[in-house]
Amino acid sequence: MSLQTHLTQLARKHEALEREIHDAKHRPSANDLRIAELKRKKLLLKDEMNRLRSDTDSLH
């Protein structure tokens, strides 16, 4: 899998988590622990994308 393909997949997962967080926040029975877990996963994806981009930039 190419780096760009991997970054695209991570970005899609990040966007999906953003939608899931938004939906969870607007449910009457919002679960704060679930929302916190989703935010943590989203942040990990963002960190991974930034790390990959940084590694790529340092190669050029």
Please state, in angstroms and as integers, the Cα–Cα distance from residue 56 to each residue in 4, 20, 22, 51, 53, following that order.
10, 30, 31, 9, 5
Mean pLDDT of 6-17: 97
C-alpha span between 6 and 10 (Å, rounded) = 6
CB atoms within 10 A of CB 57: 8
Residue 59 has pLDDT above 80, yes or no: no
Give the confidence band of 5 by pLDDT, cuts at 50, 70, 90.
Answer: very high
Q: Residue 54: give the domain boundaries.
A: 3-59
The per-residue pLDDT for range 28-50, each reduced to its tens digit, is 888 999 999 999 999 999 999 99
User: What per-residue confidence (pLDDT) applies to 60?
Assistant: 67
3-state secondary structure of 52: helix
Give the total number of structural domains in the chain. 1
C-alpha span between 38 and 49 (Å, rounded) = 17
